[in-house]
Structure 1
Amino acid sequence: MPDPLSPTPASPSPAPGTSPAASPPAAPGGGASPAPSTPSSAARPDWLDEGYWSETGVNLDALKPVLDEHKALTAAQAERAAAVPADADGYKLELPEGVLPDGAKFEFDEQSQLLQNARKIAHEMGLPQAEFSRLLGLYAQDKIAEEQSLQAAIAQQKTKLGANANARIDAVHTFLDTLGPEKAGALKGMMFTALQVEALEDLVRKASGQGGASLPGGGREPGGKEADPTDEEWAAMTYTQKMEYQRRKTAAGQR
């Protein structure tokens, strides 16, 4: 029977045949036991944008499209690099399909310094053959347009020279050929306009000391106006006769 005067209550005696229960360990400092701790999340790396991070770590759903895009870009760059010639001389002077007007042809000068420089720069920039050909197409189109514009201008000037424009030009060329190929070529290169052709005709006439050669077939229409020669008559005329005919037309104001 416990002693009622004892300050410490007696522990109950274990039942016969049982071991005494173990007492729980005392908390440090006499306080209550701490609650079990949970593992803390890792910190976001400085190089990873906040949009790809969540409380549980890397947000793979947000990061996957970026990785897919990077993979596609890497593959495209590899494909592009494989299409670049090994050196500048490897670029072919080929035009893309359909870049020229129907029936038009264009030939490149393989010795052109411009093309050599273009090949060098294209290789330095890593251009594939297809992209280099596109640039060649622009060059060819510009040259063709330039030639078409020149031919249109020449046709306009020939109209000013009249129906016998080609014959008049050929007559001047024939005379200039007597100067030798080099000098003749230099003067032929000046014949772009009707006025230039007429000026050369005057020079040829003066150099030849031509007088008043007659026009075959009389060359006069009723009323005194000089008739234009037919193609057959013009072909039969001498150079002197052709120049004199032009002189008379000029003097009569019939051009």
Structure 2
Amino acid sequence: MTVAFAPEGEGDAPAAVPPAGDQPAAPTPPAGDPPPPAPVAAPPAAPAGLEAFWDAEKAALNVDGLAKLVADDQARRAGVPEAPDGYKMELPADFALPDGLTFEPQDTPLGQSVRAIAHEFGLPQAAMSKLLAAYVDSQAQEHRQVIADIAAEQAKLGPNRDARFSAMDGWIKANLPDHHAVLAQRLPVDAGLFQAVEALIARANAGIPSATGGGGEAMSEEAYFKSLFKN
């Protein structure tokens, strides 16, 4: 240890000066809270309107899917006519009509409305043809059902129904005005109505010779209806 002496008259006791190596270390500052972790960057979001083509795993657009969408849309637009009357009311080439049915397109108000709607929503000609095929197919199914219903009604009239149809047709033509001839076409589709009219004809024939449908002058409309209620 080194002792230093103060000059004479300037102090009462020597001060001890520790060597440089023996000086106390600076106090360690108290430990505080650990620094917060660095914020994690949020994954990039899909561009607005392209969410369906966003690959979240790669954080990138699905370019192939987007390119296909554009190509398909261009192909669709290529099949849209410039105006509603540019649509052709034609069936697809692979559509087969049921036996006995034909399709003859006509310019009807319904067809004009369909063309206008198709053009408003940008439907190509191929879509128009498929819609038309769906309509024709539904009409064909209804036609088949009507044929089946008529056959079922006619079966109720028994095996001699054809002769009965001919007799009624002849009677109607001989005794009713021409505009009532359509009855002969409508009655066979309803067996109950056919039998009712057949009964009325039988009643009329009982008192009116010319009502047999086989000669004589046809009855007037007024005379016919009076005969139905004759005692």
Tell me if TM exceeds 0.5.
yes
Q: Retained in 2: the 8 A contact 1:93–1:133?
A: yes
SS across alignment from 1:171? helix
Residue of structure 2 in register with 1:206 after alignment: 203
Matched pairs, number? 161
Residue of structure 1 in register with 2:44 after alignment: 49
Q: Structure 1: which 5+ residue stretches go unaligned? A: 1-43, 53-60, 212-237, 241-255
The whole-number CA distance in structure 1 between the counterparts of 2:213 and 2:177 is 18
Q: Retained in 1: the 8 A contact 2:90–2:105?
A: no
**Cα deviation digits, residues 71-115 of structure 1 (max 9, x gap):** 332222121111012222222222224433664533145143322
User: Which stretch of the first structure deviates more once superposed, 138-147 or 66-75?
Assistant: 66-75
Instruction: Check 1:167–1:113 CA distance in 2 against 1; reply closer, same or farther (3 A cut).
Output: farther
TM value normalised by structure 1:
0.53
The whole-number CA distance in structure 1 between the counterparts of 2:84 and 2:187 is 39
The whole-number CA distance in structure 2 between the counterparts of 1:119 and 1:95 is 14
Which of the residues 78, 83, 98 maps onto 1:87?
83
Q: Shift in Å at residue 184 of structure 1?
A: 2.0
Which aligned pairs between 1:79-118 and structure 2 lie closer than 5 A? 79-100=75-96, 103=99, 105-118=101-114
Residue of structure 2 in register with 1:182 after alignment: 179
Q: Retained in 2: the 8 A contact 1:91–1:129?
A: yes
Q: Shift in Å at residue 133 of structure 1?
A: 1.1
Q: Structure 2: which 5+ residue stretches go unaligned? A: 1-40, 48-56, 215-231
**Structure 1 residue ranges (4+ consecutive) displaced by more than 4 angstroms after TM superposition:** 61-65
Structure 2 counterpart of 1:199, one-letter code:
A
The whole-number CA distance in structure 1 between the counterparts of 2:205 and 2:160 is 21
Q: Retained in 1: the 8 A contact 2:173–2:181?
A: yes
Which aligned pairs between 1:1-255 and structure 2 lie closer than 5 A? 49-50=44-45, 62=58, 65-100=61-96, 103=99, 105-178=101-174, 179-185=176-182, 188-209=185-206
Overall identity of the aligned pairs, in %: 31
The whole-number CA distance in structure 1 between the counterparts of 2:188 and 2:62 is 66
The whole-number CA distance in structure 1 between the counterparts of 2:156 and 2:184 is 20
Structure 2 counterpart of 1:49, one-letter code:
P
**Cα deviation digits, residues 173-225 of structure 1 (max 9, x gap):** 222223233222256434422111111111222223359xxxxxxxxxxxxxx
Q: Shift in Å at residue 51 of structure 1?
A: 7.2
The whole-number CA distance in structure 2 between the counterparts of 1:120 and 1:186 is 40
